[in-house]
Structure 1
């Protein structure tokens, strides 16, 4: 199930990611992953949560957004690779928590800050071995106190673990 990877040839990394996604049965949006996203949004107290898989763009295989009666912007099932904070999580292969994105000039200018008014973010990589398949994240329009960072980190890591356990169990694969 693994393909040799060469950092100079990202298509090999994508081929490895695609092979793992196929083995896990992940081919597109799924109601079960939407449920994971909804539960995460509720637990985090935010309007948006995603299970984000990376390919030629970011695709939300699990998505929770505010209802139609909300004044908040709607989010579709895909986003360019350079938008948002999940690309940073993929590159780092580590969770990232930003209680207030404006407190970091590096993140304050991200496109999603203006597009949907993001002020708080927490995301963790979905890892199979050393291969990042995507991320699980939550975002919200209100900043949080810096002291909430540890709780957000624990929550996002737990939900990441829950999703990977679900995917492995469903596919009959040992992690």
Structure 2
């Protein structure tokens, strides 16, 4: 986690140009998959920050701009350095009681790692308020979007 925090700390993630670029990528991924919500996140030790989004405008996720790490599906992506998929989060033993599911209404999730300077700093993910079986096409769209997000993040990376 130290490398993740060091790399995240070197990002100018408050820059409006960064947010606009990441919003565009998340919109494109959502359009490619037909799923309603898509995020680019940075995962730190106690919180997950939403740095780009599509489909969450007006929702609590948008207003909060993140979640506690205990609520974060993306934390599993960072921890395992691998894609993480939940077709029905309400039936998942780990996430069934997660407030993102019980209060926020999120039922399905798929996320892939964002690797910057060798550290997994976050995830590019799709969310839905319905149960969803994620396909190889969905995961390929996420992977393509993740590559684009990493390219953008490098533009806003200061000194590591």
Identify the TM-score tier after normalising by the shorter chain.
0.7 to 0.9
Which residue in 1 is equivalent to 2:74? 86
Q: Give how far 1:106 is off.
A: 2.7
TM-score normalised to structure 1 length: 0.73
Match of 2:4 in 1: 17
Answer with 153-162 or 105-114: which moved more: 105-114
Q: Relative contact order, CA 8 A, sep 6+: which one is greater?
A: 2
Residue 33 of structure 1: CA displacement? 1.1
1:103: how far off?
4.5
Q: Please, which runs of 5 or more residues in structure 2 have no aligned partner? A: none
Question: Which of 106, 109, 114 is the matching residue for 1:118?
Answer: 106
Q: Which has the larger radius of gyration?
A: 1
- Computed over aligned residues only, the root mean square deviation of the Cα atoms, in angstroms, reads 2.6
Separation (CA, whole Å) in 2 of partners of 1:115 and 1:41: 23
SS of corresponding position for 1:127: strand
Which residue of 35, 45, 53 maps to 1:46? 35
Q: Which residue of 1 aligns with 2:24?
A: 35
Whole-Å separation in 2 of the counterparts to 1:81 and 1:99: 21
Residue pair 2:83, 2:112 contacting (<8 A) in 1 also: yes
TM-score by length of 2: 0.79
Unaligned runs of 5+ in 1: 1-9
Alignment of 1:100-111 (within 5 A): 100-111=88-99
Q: CA deviation at 1:116?
A: 1.7
